[in-house]
Amino acid sequence: MRRIALIVDLETRATTAIPVRSNFLDPVLEAPCRPFGITWSETEVYIANNLQLLVYDKQWRYLRTMETPLQVNTHQLAFHASNVWAVSPRTNSLIGVPTISNLEAFEFDLCGHKLVTRSLHRASEAGDRHHFNSLLWTDDALFVAAHNFGQPSFINRYHASTLRLEHVYQNAGSSIHGLALHGEELFWISTRTDEIRSSLGYILPLSRRGYARGFAMTESYFIVAISDFLRRDERRGGNSWIQILDRRDGLVVDEFHLCDTGSINDLRLLDAYDYGHRVEPLLGAGCACHHR
């Protein structure tokens, strides 16, 4: 494992690797280094790596690891209301980590739909009930997607202030990942069926077969990360692709091939407003970012 992240310029095809440091490795875990979610505030970038919440400055210089531990196999991150929110599939929860000092981390139970006492034990895969993996904050709502293993996927919508469960989008596809909201329409990837879907019945088949995980959306484009379909223990190798699709006609405008870089876990746009992230862009021009 050499990279914690990869910055990709989709115009010039240039790539910049953010390297793994020795203190990112935990030899006790099945996957000693597993970078996944990425988000940022006005001043810092955050990357999830199992129990670690890694902190970088906006020039991608490593600053520190947050003292608050996350969980094994942490998935997507989002920044909202001065907190980094992490999806924890094995505890069926969101872990909230305040970026303001002297405040305690907290946990939101996605099955009981309530705040609970923060659990610090290392959770096992056996506790993963629905495999919640993706989240999206808006001014009014919090959306959380459940892969749900072999059962139909679903998406929970909570009130942004009270965290009261407001709606469940049932039969959302199979093994879904990623969420984006434009207007009143919610979009996501149905990974097992190789489709982009929406809450209003939109379905766009993806032209490349594989494991689609990593989703962004601008005013004009869908940006989708697709990796070779591999067993978990093989995902450090294999190929991945980033596709840009025109939202008007669903056609592939461009495709970027990442040869033998391993599977993509998450993808964020750095230089354009992303309806799948809904924070201000990190950079000025020309990049997208993915994780292995």
The model's pLDDT over 52-65, given as tens digits with 9 standing for 90+, comes to 999 999 999 999 99
pLDDT value of position 286: 47
The pTM score is 0.95
CATH number for the domain including 96?
2.120.10.30
Which pLDDT belongs to residue 260? Answer: 79
Cβ neighbours for 39, distance < 8 A, ≥ 6 positions apart? 45, 46, 77, 78, 79, 84, 268, 277, 279
Q: Is residue 108 part of a domain?
A: yes
pLDDT at 291 over 90: no
Q: Tell me the C-alpha distance between 72 and 266, whole Å.
A: 16
Predicted pLDDT at 284: 64
In a domain, 74, yes or no: yes
Domain residue limits at 73 = 35-129
User: What is the overall mean pLDDT for the chain?
Assistant: 93
In a domain, 96, yes or no: yes
pLDDT digit string (tens) for 171-188?
Answer: 999 999 999 999 999 999
Q: Quote the CA–CA distance of 227 and 215 in Å, as a whole number.
A: 12
pLDDT of residue 292: 42
Q: Which residues pair with 212 in a beta bridge?
A: 226
Q: Is residue 263 part of a domain?
A: no
Read off the pLDDT band of 9 (50, 70, 90).
very high
Give the separation between CA 61 and CA 70, rounded to whole angstroms.
21
Q: What percent of the chain has pLDDT over 90?
A: 85
Question: Is residue 44 in some structural domain?
Answer: yes
Give the pLDDT of residue 169. 98
Residue 23 lies inside a defined structural domain of this protein: no
Residue 190 lies in a domain: no
For residue 119, name the pLDDT band (cuts at 50, 70, 90). confident
Q: Report yes or no on 76 lying in a domain.
A: yes
Q: What is each CA distance from 109 to 16, 63, 126, 281, in whole angstroms?
A: 37, 30, 17, 30
In sequence order, the 6+-apart residues with CB closer than 8 A to the CB of 244 are 10, 221, 222, 223, 252, 253, 254, 255
Question: Distance between CA atoms of 58 and 40, rounded to whole angstroms?
Answer: 9
- pLDDT bracket for residue 102 (50, 70, 90): confident
Number of domains the chain is built from: 1
Query: Distances from the Cα of 184 to the Cαs of 89, 105, 181, in angstroms?
Result: 27, 31, 7
Give the per-residue pLDDT at 236.
Answer: 67
Q: State yes or no: pLDDT of 290 exceeds 80.
A: no
Is it the case that residue 234 has pLDDT exceeding 70? no
**What are the tens digits of pLDDT across the range 129-167?**
999 999 999 999 999 999 999 999 999 999 999 999 999
